[in-house]
Structure 1
């Protein structure tokens, strides 16, 4: 479905580039669905959603800067805020008006912060296993990166964390070994080997983003930032999703003013791939299609 000749690439004011693929027809009274991928993924991640959702709505799947098939110039920023800025810039540039924003995992973190920073652009929000953590009482939600002796950010996780070790393996050239360690850590053991070859190919295409990502300290969710998201919000989890995603989702369900939550039975972190019919049905029900 995702033929490169049908991909649109937009140059952004930040000197980054962002690609997107769209399907379906525009509806005068229905906002388009804008889908945001997570770690190691790109717009191809949403292939199980495109046919079902585009039958009812105009659907746009983006590849954030640095992710296949786009690149960013040397020295361009990589991080949650730069991706939020890119997403907001794209919506303004394409004059889509309000959109329904759907984000998975790290893309859920991007989607949340986009909606909290410019809520006028969105009519609804869907967060599927949103990445990141809520701030504790009195904790500053702004990211603070520790800088190592080499002048580089030391990373968002402890050195022994499997995500850091996975990034080190990728940098050392053991691409599949590092990807297996990372994917299994954020989903569940054995997920990489059970994944479809199309997913593994996509992850390999985006492996170079992993070392950058683990050095990106995520902003924490806060009750204050959640209070700005005054639009209907659906939070989707799998009942087998890792505990961290479930804990974050429970807190956001409590903090967001108009949130509801659904849990897909038998699903884990890659719920939109393994339980696509259930996932699509929840999305369509939420947007009233």
Structure 2
């Protein structure tokens, strides 16, 4: 199946031209991509979720189509969470959003929910990836990938990073459009490496009052399941599901099952409040 073309829009009102794609009408679902990706990562979710929702998928600051090619201090989880909070506030309906983040994007989504709970109606974290206090030293693959990038070995750096995050030999089997997207965002690793040892305090998640869905790939590396175990222990309103026949990139490997579970969760937590503009 050919990859669908996605329309590109620019939000007005931020301090930089955030690019995003969108589809559908109704309550907003905001999709947050992870490392080396951008809004194109969600191409198999846009149409499916847009049947009942307004789906918004931005490219985070520093990613394609304005990707950083060298280390930049403006690249951080906190900055991305602030950007998305501003993005939500600029939406015309004035409602909190359903927020879905994958991998590093799940940490950005979690940071946003902790900082601005009034902006988040529900939260979905797909294979959340982040260190927590008490973890051992960060894995060396971040630094090895950066070393190869700095030496000009882009393919080697990307293969190492993707295979470590997703599982052995993932990069070699990835389809062309995915490899293009990852190559477009290779330079972001030069900034992201500074986050490798920055932990998230798990008790912050315990203060969240919104419904949360934890999603994992059946074949994902075990570290993602351990992080979900920790979140499940502290979250107040939490559900958990496994996407079969999929690893870390579960929304691409098994989009039918992923989209179905996401829609079930969203529909079960519909926002029935009247619009702010209603008389």
TM-score bracket for this pair, using the shorter chain length: 0.7 to 0.9
Q: Give the aligned partner of residue 151 of structure 1.
A: none
Q: Give the aligned partner of residue 101 of structure 1.
A: 99
Q: Give the aligned partner of residue 132 of structure 2.
A: 134
After superposition, the C-alpha distances for 1:160-196 in whole angstroms (9 at most, x for unaligned) are x122111221222111111011000001000001111
Question: Given the alignment of the two structures, is residue 269 of structure 1 paired with residue 248 of structure 2, yes or no?
Answer: yes
Deviation at 1:216, TM superposition (A): 2.3
Q: 1:11 & 1:17 partners in 2: Cα distance?
A: 7
SS of 1:66's equivalent in the other structure is: coil
Q: Give the aligned partner of residue 92 of structure 1.
A: 89
Report 1:1-289 matches (<5 A). 1-3=4-6, 6-10=7-11, 13=14, 15-25=15-25, 27=26, 31-71=27-67, 77-96=74-93, 97-136=95-134, 157=138, 161-217=140-196, 219-288=198-267
Deviation at 1:265, TM superposition (A): 2.2
SS of 1:273's equivalent in the other structure is: helix
Structure 1 residues 90 and 2: CA distance shift in structure 2, 3 A: farther
Between stretches 169-178 and 192-201, larger displacement belongs to: 169-178
Q: 1:68 & 1:280 partners in 2: Cα distance?
A: 24
Deviation at 1:219, TM superposition (A): 4.4
Deviation at 1:218, TM superposition (A): 5.8
TM-score, length of structure 2 as denominator length: 0.88
Q: 2:133 & 2:245 partners in 1: Cα distance?
A: 29
Deviation at 1:93, TM superposition (A): 2.1
Residue correspondences, number = 262
Q: 2:67 & 2:179 partners in 1: Cα distance?
A: 20
RMSD over aligned CA atoms reads: 2.1
Structure 1 residues 68 and 245: CA distance shift in structure 2, 3 A: same
SS of 1:103's equivalent in the other structure is: strand
Q: 2:267 & 2:22 partners in 1: Cα distance?
A: 20
Gaps of 5+ in 1: 140-155
Are the equivalent residues in 1 in contact too, given 2:10–2:17 (CA < 8 A)? Answer: yes
SS of 1:200's equivalent in the other structure is: helix
Gaps of 5+ in 2: 269-279
SS of 1:78's equivalent in the other structure is: coil
Deviation at 1:133, TM superposition (A): 2.6
Are the equivalent residues in 2 in contact too, given 1:12–1:86 (CA < 8 A)? Answer: no
Are the equivalent residues in 2 in contact too, given 1:41–1:67 (CA < 8 A)? Answer: yes
Structure 1 residues 116 and 46: CA distance shift in structure 2, 3 A: same
Structure 1 residues 187 and 42: CA distance shift in structure 2, 3 A: same
SS of 1:49's equivalent in the other structure is: helix
Q: 2:132 & 2:73 partners in 1: Cα distance?
A: 28
SS of 1:169's equivalent in the other structure is: helix
Q: Once superposed, which parts of structure 1, at least 4 consecutive aligned residues long, lie more than 4 Å away?
A: 71-76
Q: 2:264 & 2:18 partners in 1: Cα distance?
A: 29
